[in-house]
């Protein structure tokens, strides 16, 4: 590997003999495709050199050739553990550019979906931290719950992992009674499982000894490396996009931003645990106060009309044709919209020159930005802690490589 | 952002860098300042340390290519988390000679963002500790996000995209 060659010449000059270890590109413990060339002194990591880009799919370039509604499936594949947040974040970016007023009911439904997605994202991350410390039971147990959420997605949009949920302007259909039933079922069952999982790990002596003090980062470093999301909050900064610049009516809900102190693996674990509880509370509030009204805004140029209208209504037919062919034009403008994704501030920087496709679309991908601190975080730690640090940062290859 | 806050940012820049601002506008809900390219890092560093602005968080950084003007824009987005103010700075570089200074001296996070900008737009950040390709293969000879490089191979004859524009 080329990366190995970059470090290797140093060997001859040094008196001490170091060993070089390729962690990845494909290794079950890295949960994705990244390579790290570790320079090791026994079991201790002296230096590391990450290589990324193994699953780069040129999303920003692809987006310059696609009409706006066709970009939604691209966003699915960024952070595929919480695809609906990406989808809805993108829809809101376009709505901001168009200046569309979104009905309150749509905003609340979006909040429900986004919080469900946040729960799946965090539960995978926390369950995997358990696996990497040797506790497989919790992982299998929690994965069953993810299945329940995926069934909810399936009921709403028909897809499970890469959801492509909703449309510009709202949802393709209102939530069916069965979907509500499944959400109620999840809200009833999940808190019990979550607390059981919590009692398995959070005060477990072995788990605590293993995670406290491992892979820590200070507040100053975290901010300088532009950390956001749970990783920044674990270091002690209460920055959350949902509160700092509320979108989709998040200002209506009561919730707490959990913060940690040391920014180590244990704090990140605990922050995510608490965020799942807060998400459950937000979903309950949204369901309790769910307003009546339409499930989509009036944006005929972007919102695909119903099939019966297409067959019976001239305007609907025209709009249907234009949307499917990608011939709708948007106003000129430049917007930045950010949402609180599973890993932090997920931003969409969009420039429109008035054409059918974006002139430029840049994704602010939290993973890409905080993963560069990884070599610094694992320097001086044991190899097993490096694995744990990576899984607790929740590095998602799709988001990292775009 | 209110007008008073905008004036304040402009006056902070003018305090030390008189005449560097080319244009300051509100784009949708985001305050954007276009500055001259020479002293961009010093301006950001000044905004970082000045007690009235304290933009101490780099949200993102990216390039934009304008083929008609033959220019590449480098866009910096800064954030003050205490007052929750956001600021976008832009510099215009010539596409034939896109060279600017590195921001890694101020923000560690700029490291990979600049590598990505170099990778896709060929912007050279002077003083960068490790300026090489990050997402694309090292052997690549073009800067693929520049507009002159089409998404698909234009020599293909089996696809007629005239009708559907794709």
- Rounded distance, CA B134 to CA B14, Å? 36
Q: Does a structural domain hold residue B37? A: yes
Q: B108 vs A224: CB contact, 8 Å cut-off?
A: yes
Alpha carbon of residue B19 to chain centroid: 20
Residue A339: what pLDDT?
92
Q: Which of A7-16, A93-102, A378-387, B29-38 bottoms out in mean pLDDT, i.e. has the lowest?
A: A7-16
Q: For residue A4, what pLDDT is reported?
A: 53
Residues 241-260 on A with a CB inside 8 Å of B are: 244-245
Q: Is the pLDDT of residue A15 over 80?
A: no
Q: Which residue of A has its CA nearest to B65?
A: A360
Instruction: Determine the pLDDT at residue A29.
Output: 76
Strand partners, A26: A33
| pLDDT > 90? residue A13 | no
Q: What is the arithmetic mean of pLDDT over B92-119?
A: 91
Does A180 score more than 70 pLDDT? yes
Evaluate if residue A88 carries a pLDDT over 90: yes
Number of separate domains in chain B: 1
Q: Which helix (H) or strand (E) holds B118?
A: helix B110-121
Checking A64-68 for CB contacts under 8 A at 24+ apart, the result is A64/A357, A64/A358, A64/A359, A64/A360, A64/A361, A64/B151, A65/A357, A65/B151, A65/B166, A66/A326, A66/A357, A66/B166, A67/A326, A67/A327, A67/A328, A67/A356, A67/A357, A68/A94, A68/A168, A68/A302, A68/A328, A68/A330, A68/A357, A68/A358
In a domain, B40, yes or no: yes
pLDDT, tens digit (0-9, with 9 covering 90-100), for B11-60: 888 888 888 888 888 888 889 999 998 888 999 999 999 888 889 999 99
Q: How far apart are CA B39 and CA A127, in angstroms?
A: 48
- Structure token digits, residue A286: 């949204």
What is the rounded average pLDDT of the residues A340-348?
A: 90
Interface of A with B in 205-244 (CB under 8 A): 221, 223-226, 237, 239, 244
Report CB contact under 8 Å: A356, B138. no
Structural domains in chain A, sorted by start: 2-51 (no CATH), 59-401 (1.10.645.10)
DSSP A298-345: S-TTTSPPPHHHHHH-HHHHHHHHHHHHT------EEEEEEEE-SSSE
Element (H, E) at A159: none
For residue B22, the domain's CATH number is 3.30.460.80
Please indicate, yes or no, if residue B159 is contained in any of the structural domains: no
Tokens (6 digits) for A168: 């510009």
Average pLDDT over residues B91-100: 91
CB contact set of B2 (below 8 Å; sequence gap of 6+): none
Give me the percent of chain A exceeding a pLDDT of 70.
97
pLDDT at site A1: 44
Helix axes A104-132 and A136-157, enclosed angle (nearest 10): 160
Which residue range forms the structural domain that includes residue B15?
3-96
In angstroms, rounded to a whole number, what is the distance separating the alpha carbons of residues A218 and A261?
Answer: 9
In contact, A31 and A132? CB cutoff 8 Å: no
Q: Chain A residues with CB inside 8 Å of B86's CB?
A: 336
Has residue A5 got a pLDDT over 60? Answer: no
For A15-19, A138-142, A196-200, B105-109, which range has the lowest pLDDT when averaged over its residues? A15-19
Residue pLDDT, tens place only, A52-70? 888 899 899 888 888 888 8
HEC profile for B11-71?
Answer: HHHHHHCCCCEEEEEEECCEEEEEECCCCHHHHHHHHHHCCCCCCCEEEEEEEEEECCCCE
Q: What residues in B contact A371, CB-CB < 8 Å?
A: 112
Question: Is residue A366 very low, low, confident or very high in pLDDT (cuts 50, 70, 90)?
Answer: very high
Examine residue B35 and state whether it is found in any structural domain, yes or no: yes
Interval A308-324: pLDDT, tens: 989 999 999 999 998 88
Our CA angle for A118, A120, A123, nearest 5°, is 105
Q: How far apart are CA A283 and CA B144, in angstroms?
A: 43
B122 located within any domain: no
Nearest-neighbour CA in chain B from A196: distance (Å): 36
What lies within 8 Å, CB to CB, of A312 at 6+ separation is none
Q: Is residue B136 part of a domain?
A: no
Give the dihedral of Cα atoms A301, A305, A309, A314; nearest 10 deg.
Answer: 20
* Cα dist from A262 to A222, A265, A395, B80, whole Å: 11, 9, 19, 22
Lowest-confidence pick of A13-17, A172-176, A196-200, A283-287: A13-17
ipTM, 2 dp: 0.90
Report cis status (omega within 30 of 0) of the bond before B159: no
CB B45 within 8 A of CB B61: no
Q: Is B74 helix (H, G, I), strand (E, B) or coil?
A: strand
For residue A296, the 8-state DSSP code is B
**Of A396, A402, A54, A356, which Cα lies nearest the Cα of B60?**
A402
Q: A363 pLDDT band (50/70/90 cuts)?
A: very high
Q: Write down the pLDDT at residue B166.
A: 47
Residue B82's CB is within 10 A of a number of other CB atoms, namely 9
The answer on pLDDT for A247 being more than 70 is yes
The CB density around residue A169, as the number of other CB atoms within 10 Å, is 26
Judge whether B38 and B21 are in contact, CB under 8 Å.
Answer: no
The predicted structure's pLDDT at residue A329: 79
Contact state of A334 with B56 under an 8 Å Cβ cutoff: no
Give the model's pLDDT for residue A216. Answer: 86
- CB B59 to CB A347 under 8 A? yes
Per-residue pLDDT at B138 exceeds 80: yes
Tell whether B12 is covered by a domain. Answer: yes
Of the pLDDT bands very low, low, confident and very high (cuts 50, 70, 90), residue B161 is: low
B61 is a domain residue: yes
CB atoms within 10 A of CB A51: 18
SS3 A249: coil
* Dihedral angle computed from the Cα positions of residues B126, B129, B134 and B137, in that order, rounded to the nearest 10 degrees: 80
Residues of A whose CB is below 8 A from B83: none
How far apart are the C-alpha atoms of B15 and B21, rounded to whole Å? 12
Binding-face residues of A in 165-184 toward B, CB within 8 A: none
């Amino acid at each position: 590997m080329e990366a190995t060659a970059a470090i290797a010449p140093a060997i001859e000059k040094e008196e001490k003999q170091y060993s070089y270890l390729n962690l990845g590109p494909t290794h079950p413990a890295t949960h994705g495709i990244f390579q790290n060339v570790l320079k090791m002194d026994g079991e201790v990591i002296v230096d590391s050199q990450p290589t990324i880009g193994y699953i780069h799919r040129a999303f920003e370039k692809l987006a310059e050739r696609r009409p706006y509604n066709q970009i939604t499936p691209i966003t699915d594949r960024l952070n595929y553990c919480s695809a609906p947040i990406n989808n809805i974040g993108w829809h809101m970016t376009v709505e901001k550019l168009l200046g569309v007023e979104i009905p309150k009911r749509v905003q609340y439904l979006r909040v429900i979906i986004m919080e469900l997605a946040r729960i799946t994202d965090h539960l995978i991350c926390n369950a995997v931290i358990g696996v990497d410390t040797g506790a497989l039971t919790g992982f299998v147990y929690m994965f069953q719950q993810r299945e329940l959420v995926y069934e909810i997605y399936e009921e709403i949009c028909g897809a499970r992992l890469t959801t492509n949920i909703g449309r510009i302007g709202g949802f393709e259909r209102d939530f069916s009674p069965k979907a509500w039933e499944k959400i109620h079922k999840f809200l009833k069952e999940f808190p019990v499982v979550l607390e059981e999982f919590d009692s398995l790990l959070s005060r477990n002596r072995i788990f605590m000894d293993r995670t406290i003090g491992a892979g820590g980062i200070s507040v100053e470093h975290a901010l300088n490396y532009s950390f956001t999301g749970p990783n920044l909050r674990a270091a002690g900064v209460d920055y959350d996009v949902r509160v700092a610049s509320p979108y989709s009516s998040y200002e209506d809900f009561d919730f707490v931003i959990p913060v940690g102190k040391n920014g180590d693996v244990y704090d990140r674990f605990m922050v995510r645990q608490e965020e799942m509880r807060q998400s459950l509370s937000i979903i309950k509030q949204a369901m309790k106060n769910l307003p009546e009204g339409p499930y989509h805004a009036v944006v005929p140029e972007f919102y695909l009309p119903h099939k019966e209208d297409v067959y019976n209504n001239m305007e609907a037919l025209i709009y249907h044709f234009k949307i499917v062919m990608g011939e709708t034009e948007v106003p000129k403008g430049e917007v930045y919209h950010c949402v609180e994704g599973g890993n932090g501030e997920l931003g969409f920087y969009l420039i429109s020159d008035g054409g059918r496709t974006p002139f430029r679309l840049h994704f602010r991908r939290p993973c890409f930005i905080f993963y560069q601190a990884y070599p610094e975080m694992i320097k001086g730690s044991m190899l097993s802690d490096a694995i744990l640090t990576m899984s607790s940062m929740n590095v998602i290859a799709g988001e990292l490589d775009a | 952002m209110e007008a008073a806050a905008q004036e304040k940012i402009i006056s902070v820049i003018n305090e030390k860098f008189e005449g560097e601002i080319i244009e300051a506008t509100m784009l949708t809900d985001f305050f954007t300042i276009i500055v001259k390219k020479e002293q961009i890092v010093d301006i950001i560093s000044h905004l970082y340390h000045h007690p009235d602005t304290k933009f101490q968080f780099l949200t993102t950084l990216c390039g934009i290519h304008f083929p008609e003007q033959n220019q590449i824009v480098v866009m910096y987005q800064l954030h003050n988390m205490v007052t929750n103010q956001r600021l976008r700075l832009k510099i215009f570089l010539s596409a034939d000679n896109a060279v600017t200074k590195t921001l890694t001296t101020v923000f560690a996070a700029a490291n990979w963002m600049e590598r990505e900008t170099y990778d896709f737009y060929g912007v050279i950040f002077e003083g960068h500790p490790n300026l090489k390709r990050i997402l694309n293969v090292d052997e690549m000879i073009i800067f693929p996000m520049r507009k002159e490089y089409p998404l698909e191979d234009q020599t293909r004859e089996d696809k007629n995209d005239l009708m559907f524009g794709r």
